[in-house]
A and B are shown apart, each in its own frame.
Chain A
Amino acid sequence: MRLMNASGCLDALTAPDVARSLDAFVTKTVTPLPRTGNPGPRIAEVEHGMLNSIGLANPGIDAFVATALPRLAALDVPIWVSVGGFVVDDYVELCDRLDDRPEVDTIELNVSCPNVDDVPSSVGEIVAAARAATRKPLYVKLSPATADITASALAAANAGADGLSLVNTILGLALDERTLQPRLARRAGGLSGPGLKPVALAAVYACFEATGLPIVGMGGISSGRDALEFLASGAAAVAVGTILFGDPAAPARIRGELAAELSARGVDNPDDAVGLAHAREPSAAASSTTSVMVSS
């Protein structure tokens, strides 16, 4: 099982030791042109997490490829590059630029940033076009802010996605306690942290059953217990985001806690925990999971 960071929640170049504690580093989303991002305030803590409205601030693909990518490669951690755009051609251009770069392990298509105004085209169109532009593994990061996330997941699967990253943040609002005005300059922002966890688990659970694609699960993972719940819901890998802000040593801690959780249940390999929350046919349960003790 791989433990990664959620895109936009770590700068491997300012915190290389944190990046090296991960099984893969996921970059902040790169767009074709540089973006300065939204004005501040960009973040606001809420009761069970935080809101952000960074707005895809990034140096653009030219500067990323020329400057950041070689430095990231020197970290000796597999690099996933998150890419984002506003029209299908943006994704095609980005995938094309990264296709022959040996430093890039996987491309994550961010089709779900809540902090930009332009709504990207349909998931199926973007993934199909990106698929044609690169041989790299393609993961698709989806928003849970939809009536049926499995529709997007199936569209991604049918268009040739290799996996899903679930989930991106959902829009939330926080008001100043004194003035009752929005605390973010952009008013609403993406909710992350523990408050997002049940939403993310539901998405992972549904997409695991609907697609069978490998899933990187994320949304409020703060402990080994949280990671275990994502595995049980169907994630093959997990990513940490908000917890890194307060605890840069969270990856090692979560790994240790997860090992203890698995061991307490008699599970030797984290991969054996994937999908445990799903109802199984009696014969399948008898043949493959007899040694697994599932607490109720």
Chain B
Amino acid sequence: MLQRERPSVLGIEAVGPYRLLRVERGRLEPGAPGQFFMLEAPGRPLPRPMSLCLAPAGELAFLIDPIGPGTRALCTLEPGERLSVLGPLGHGFRLGVERPLLVGGGIGVAPLPYLSEVLGRPPAVLGFRSDWHAEAAALVPNAEVVVEPTYVTEAMLAGRDVLACGPEPMLAAVARLAPEAQLAWEAPMACGYGACYGCAVQIDGELKRLCVEGPVVAAEAVAA
């Protein structure tokens, strides 16, 4: 059953170049870390997929990189304004892991604060393109931060259960080092619930809808 509500914005705060959009939770469930929500982008024809960043009592918070018309519109929301929120959607991270290591790159750190909280603050390695972007690392406890030209793969601990989210080249590099990693992918999608077929990616050798099969997918399933 799809769950869609129209919560109020509680606040929006700058985190480096990103914005943390906090909305009231109402009857929405936070879901599992790595699951996502479709957020109405004011004035735009389509909503935007956002993984849940934080789930404080009574709130849901999303980390947004204002890089396009939809994400910029989301970042202009004011406290008290309402927006439609659909979710949680898709499959999140599998949490039954023994020695978790969180790996994130850029705006891909978005689902990691909530994941860290649920897993009991495991170690994390986060990569950013600048110190300004790296301000987002403050949201993730126990994180080692690297800034380009250093990459997360140079700081990853061996023998860990890797749970990662970040840009595609980073995920591909993580998959080579940790073939059993769980990777959260991203693809343009219109609906988030399997209707538009827009988010098809190669999974197990076939084009499959990321919103239905993912967004968290085993590294082996997406390796070429």
Q: Do A and B bind each other?
A: yes
* Residue positions of A touching B, CB distance < 8 A: 8-11, 14-15, 17-18, 28, 36-37, 39-50, 52, 54, 57, 177, 193-194, 242, 244-249
Annotate B109-152 by CB proximity to A: 1 below 8 A, 0 otherwise: 00000000000000000000000000000000000000000000
Q: Which residues of B contact A245 (CB under 8 A)?
A: 46-47, 190-191, 195-196
Q: Beta-carbon contacts of B86-99 to A below 8 Å, as 1s and 0s? A: 10000000000000
Flag if A49 contacts B45 (CB, 8 Å): yes
CA distance A2 to B109 in the complex (A): 46
Q: Told that A14-B194, A37-B200, A54-B200 touch, could you supply 5 new A-B pairs with CB distance under 8 A?
A: A45-B44, A54-B196, A244-B195, A245-B196, A248-B191
B207 touches A11 (CB 8 A): no
Please measure, in the bound complex, the distance between the C-alpha atom of A11 and the C-alpha atom of B195, giving whole angstroms.
5
- In the assembled complex, the CB of B133 is this many whole angstroms from the nearest CB of chain A, namely 17
B68 to chain A: closest CB distance in Å?
A: 7
Binding site for A on B (CB under 8 A): 1-2, 4, 38, 40, 44-47, 68-70, 84, 86, 187-191, 193-201, 206-207, 212
Contact in complex: A40, B193 (CB < 8 Å): no
Q: Is the interface of B mostly helix, strand, loop or mixed?
A: loop
User: How near does chain B come to A154, taking the closest CB pair, in angstroms?
Assistant: 33
* A248 neighbours in B (Cβ, 8 Å): 2, 4, 86, 191, 193, 195
Q: How far is the CA of A256 from the CA of B1 in the complex (A)?
A: 21
With A14-B212, A177-B68, A246-B46 already in contact, the answer to whether A42 and B198 are too (CB < 8 A) is: yes
Are A193 and B45 neighbours in the complex by a CB distance under 8 Å?
A: yes
Q: CB-CB < 8 A to A45: which residues of B?
A: 44-46, 69-70, 190
Dominant secondary structure at the A interface? loop
Given contacts A50-B45, A246-B46, contact A37 B207 (CB under 8 A): yes
Beyond A45-B46, A245-B47, whether A50 also contacts B194 by CB under 8 A is no
B4 with A249: CB separation less than 8 A: yes
Chain B residue contacts of A36, Cβ below 8 A:
206-207
**Chain A hits for B40, CB < 8 A:** 246
| Shortest distance between the CB of A182 and any CB in chain B (Å) | 13
In the complex, what distance in Å separates the CA atom of A46 from the CA atom of B2?
26
Minimum CB–CB distance from A254 to chain B (whole Å) comes to 15
Q: Select which of B1, B46, B197 is within 8 A of A37 by beta carbon.
A: B197
